[in-house]
Chain A
Amino acid sequence: MSKNILVVDDEENIRLLYKEELTEEGYNVTLAESGFEAIDIVKENNIDLVVLDIKMPKIDGIETLRLLKEERRDLPVILCSAYGEYKQDFCTWASDAYIVKTADLTELKTVIKNITTKQGT
């Protein structure tokens, strides 16, 4: 059974890139363009992992992270942001990984693989 991955990002281009790259890796990819949408999706679907942007309008990634964890404590969340500085923020420690956005998605793919294989099926 392939894993269900939710990608949350306010930029359409980025969402598309994630979707194509991760689908190619064999994951079922769902997209959300805001934190609220993401929470709704997580509530209704069997999501295995979330890739989460930080800088977003309405609610940002950190707040979304908090709400997601409140909803499902065991849900792995990978923060993926253009802000390098957030890496040092206490808040991001609550996530399962933090990755600085780059054109090369190899690191992201490795982290996703590590987390999902640990989960089992």
Chain B
Amino acid sequence: MTDFKVISNVIKMSHLDEHVEHKLWKIIDYLHEDSTLGDIYFMLYKEENKMFQPNYGTEPEFMRECENIADNDGAFLGIVESKKDTFISDFVSDNISNVSLNRFFPKAQNVFALPIFNSDRLFGVILGDSSDDLTELEQQLLSLVSAEITGMITNASEFIELNKHIYELSTLYNITKLFKHKEDISTLCDKIVEHTSTLLYASTVFLEIFSPELEDIANKKCAFNKEKNYDLDSDMIEGIIEDVKRTRGPIIIKNALTDPRCEGFAPDFTTALFAPIVYESSVIGVVGLIDKESNLFISDKSFSEDDLRVLMSLSTQLANIIENAIIVREKERLLTEKETQSWELGILYDVSNAMMKTMKLDNLLHKILTAVTVSSGMGFNRAGLFLVNERMNTLQGMLGIGPDSAEDATRIWHELEKEEKSFNQWLSNDTDKKHDGKSKFGEAIKSIRISLDEEEDTVIKAINNRRPVICSNTSECCENSKYLAKLNSEVYAAIPLLAKDKIIGAIFVDNIITKAPITEESLHFLTLFANQAGLAIENSTLYSNLKKTNTELKEMQGKLLHNEKLAALGEMAADVAHEIRNPLMSIGGFSRRLGKRFEDGTKEKEYTNIITKDVSRLEKILNEILSFSKDERVDNFNMNNINDIVNETLIMFDNEFLANNITVKTALMPDLPHAECDYHQVKQVLVNLVNNSCQAMLNGGTLEINTRKSLLRNEESVVIEVSDTGGGVNNDVIHNIFNPFFTTKDGGTGLGLAITHRLIANHSGSIEVDNNPGIGVTFIINLPINERIHKQPTKYRIGGKI
């Protein structure tokens, strides 16, 4: 064995791409065969129990019988302490101290022990004997082999250790990566359990979550088994989990057979590790590992502190994902809540806007049901509206919208879809009612009368309880209203219509075609809507009452005016004044003339002066008396928002627009500067212009009013444009339109534009006409913002009752 060939072969073998253990065994076999050496053994050192464990030997028979040897046993103690290769010649005589080695080499004379060290860690020892004395060279050779083996094992263990770390890290990384996935948390838990099992060499990993915040994983239990199925529901495991919950700390069970926690049970595992998942200082789950898998370098079959560290960091991560999930859920819930809320608010806003503008009851009812049925609104298949008839003491069907059959529905919905109208457009349209009322459903609704005394009827019950109900033919809880039977609906809802606290009717909805369920949410929203609708209906009724009262008042007023006595009195006052003024004028006038003919200081002059003065006094008294009796108005210039005046004017014409089918468009500049003007005079201007436009568009058209900021004589001003599509003015007469009394209308006085012109002049403003004969006309009014700057000396101040 002087050949260096040996060492080169050993080096070659140590670099084989094989399991380190196998390489070691191969080297031992090789040394045994290719040299003069006798049997060779490898004893693996177990630090945990301070024992040498027989691992491999060239004498298998012996290996089988060989027991573990304590590291303080005879020669082995020396090996552990010296950590040096030992060569013993004359082995037999040295028998006392070598008791332990004697067993291996009973007949040997030359024995060697080569400890395999990696820094402080002892992996094991190679023992061998030789019949001949080992030369120095041979000893050196063996030391070299031992060094090579040490290197090989160190490399391998470092590699494994490193790998393990890399693997640990990458597994942790992979687990964290899983967290970021938008996967549902339940599948995530399953994956984590599987990864953890590989990471920590656990034969089973289980996870239990008892967080009530996350419905879908509350009470989730999952486990990943590599080897065998443990009874995870056993009282013992449950007891341990309870302990973890209580102590909020981890539990390590190194040996179940001796562990006090497992006393009285027959544990089906040896070792286990449990860690709590803590979220907001309460334990929301437990993660556990059961039974460690062994391998060459981890022969210890119980979980270590390292494993616990990894498990704890995993449980923190788990707590994080659960927390994230809870937060994400909460966010999503808030978001959808907000979304529905803002959608609901939007609809309610549009609807109430539309409803408030609609004063005619039938138009209003139609709008209400449109909002309930169009797909951009609440999208119910059919809707019906009932109103309380107090006189008859009944609930009376007023209007129903909805298809009669599936074919009908497909056709209508298809048509509607083609029209692509927005919700707002649906609501603002008063004329398009082609899909309502005329259907059989509409007829059926209109024919329904339910006596308010029928307290057992579902609909009456709903309105009496002021609460919506969902009814189905099959449900026993509420009996189907027999009055609604002819509507053939399987499931429907009835929602009471309330105005403040008064019951005014009910809304009926169903989804007879699509069979979509009526959800609590939609019912809730419908109730909100019904409140609005109720108010609008009430308003409309109030409005028509108001209108009635108003006409009555007017009639009364007329009657009063025609009351002869009063009329006579009123006339008398004016007539008396007139009758007195004329003679006073002539008396006073002529006395002045007379006075001019007399010299100053004469008696005649003095007398005429007295007459003149007293006439003036009488005239003054007359003026004062008369000014008491009349409401003399003068200009009232204030800072006004022109947009307000425009809107107020348009409201006055609402019914006219409707009757003449006139579409009104406005583009009123927001933040329009206020202008110094007389509110009533500007309103009168607009009334005159809009009146003319209406009269020019008796067959319908578009009226457009715009306002904007502008300049007039280099000073800030406000422009109001009034355009119509009424055909404009004939070019022959366009120059006359501002003249008083010029009119082309039967019964027109021809004063509208003349007055308009005067009023604008009174504001130092300007008025222009953009006339397009055959198309329409635009009047452009420009009013200075600061009227006083421009105040031109106007000869005629205009006051008056406007």
Contacts and interface: CB of A to CB of B under 8 A. Distances in A.
B678 interface: no
B754 A82 contact: no
A73 to B, nearest CB: 6
Contacts of A85: 574, 626, 630
Contacts of B103: none
Nearest to B620: A102
Interface stretch (B150-158, B255-263, B791-799): B791-799
Interface string B630-673: 10110000000000000000000000000000000000000000
A88 B633 contact: yes
Contacts, number: 98
A100 B574 CA distance: 13
A105 B589 contact: yes
B589 A21 contact: yes
A98 B589 CA distance: 19
Contact of A101 (B585, B591, B616, B801): B585
Nearest to B684: A90
A91 B755 CA distance: 9
Contact of B586 (A13, A55, A114): A13
B448 to A, nearest CB: 55
B631 to A, nearest CB: 9
Given A17-B593, A93-B755, A88 B801 contact: yes
B800 A17 contact: no
A70 B798 contact: no
Interface in B570-601: 574, 577-578, 581-593
Contacts of B623: 84, 100
B751 A82 contact: no
B799 A14 contact: no
Contacts of B739: 69, 73
Contact of B593 (A11, A21, A98, A114): A21
Contacts of A17: 585-586, 589-590, 593
A90 B752 CA distance: 9
Contact of A102 (B578, B619, B630, B749): B619
Interface residues of A, number: 33
B582 A82 contact: yes
A55 B593 contact: no
Contacts of A83: 574, 577-578
B626 A93 contact: no
A93 B615 CA distance: 29
Contacts of B615: 103
Nearest to A12: B586
A68 to B, nearest CB: 10
B593 A93 contact: no
B758 interface: yes
Nearest to B735: A73
A88 B632 contact: yes
Contact of B585 (A14, A89, A94, A98): A14
B578 A55 contact: yes
A97 interface: yes
B741 interface: yes
A14 B616 contact: no
B693 interface: no
Contacts of A90: 751, 755, 800
A28 B197 CA distance: 126
B179 to A, nearest CB: 82
B741 A14 contact: no
Contacts of A82: 577-578, 581-582, 585
A43 interface: no
Contacts of A111: 795
A69 B738 CA distance: 12
Contacts of B798: 93
A94 B751 contact: yes
B583 to A, nearest CB: 8
Interface in B596-632: 612, 615-616, 619, 623, 626-627, 630, 632
Given A88-B800, A94-B754, A14 B578 contact: no
A82 B623 CA distance: 11
Nearest to A18: B589
A69 B795 contact: no
Contact of A114 (B574, B592, B741, B795): B795
A101 B582 contact: yes
Contacts of B612: 103
A111 B796 CA distance: 10
Given A17-B590, A69-B739, A103-B616, A84 B633 contact: no
Contacts of B249: none
A55 B630 CA distance: 19
A101 B585 CA distance: 7
B78 interface: no
B740 interface: yes
A103 B795 contact: no
A104 interface: yes
A70 B739 CA distance: 9
A109 interface: no
A97 B795 contact: yes
A74 to B, nearest CB: 10
A87 B588 CA distance: 22
A20 interface: yes
Contact of A11 (B582, B587, B630): B582
A93 B751 contact: yes
A90 to B, nearest CB: 6
B578 to A, nearest CB: 4
B592 to A, nearest CB: 7
B581 A101 contact: yes
Nearest to A84: B626
Interface string B782-798: 00000000000001101
Most chain A CB within a 10 A radius of its CB, from B581, B593, B627, B801: B581
Contacts of B751: 90-91, 93-94
Contacts of A69: 739-741
Contact of B582 (A14, A94, A104, A105): A14
Contact of B584 (A55, A96, A97, A103): A103
A101 B586 CA distance: 10
Most chain A CB within a 10 A radius of its CB, from B612, B616, B741, B795: B741
Contacts of B736: 73
B577 A104 contact: no
A93 B738 CA distance: 12
Contacts of A87: 799
Contacts of B587: 103
Given A14-B582, A102-B619, 15 more contacts: A17-B586, A17-B589, A17-B590, A70-B741, A73-B736, A82-B578, A84-B577, A88-B800, A88-B801, A90-B755, A94-B740, A97-B796, A101-B582, A102-B588, A111-B795
Interface of B: 574, 577-578, 581-593, 612, 615-616, 619, 623, 626-627, 630, 632-633, 736, 739-741, 749, 751, 754-755, 758, 795-796, 798-801
- In the complex, the 9 A-B pairs of residues with the closest C-beta atoms, listed nearest first: A103-B588, A94-B740, A82-B581, A13-B586, A17-B589, A82-B578, A88-B800, A66-B741, A101-B585
21 contacts: A13-B582, A14-B582, A14-B589, A17-B586, A21-B593, A69-B739, A82-B581, A84-B626, A90-B755, A91-B751, A93-B740, A93-B751, A93-B754, A93-B758, A100-B581, A100-B623, A103-B585, A103-B588, A103-B591, A103-B619, A104-B592
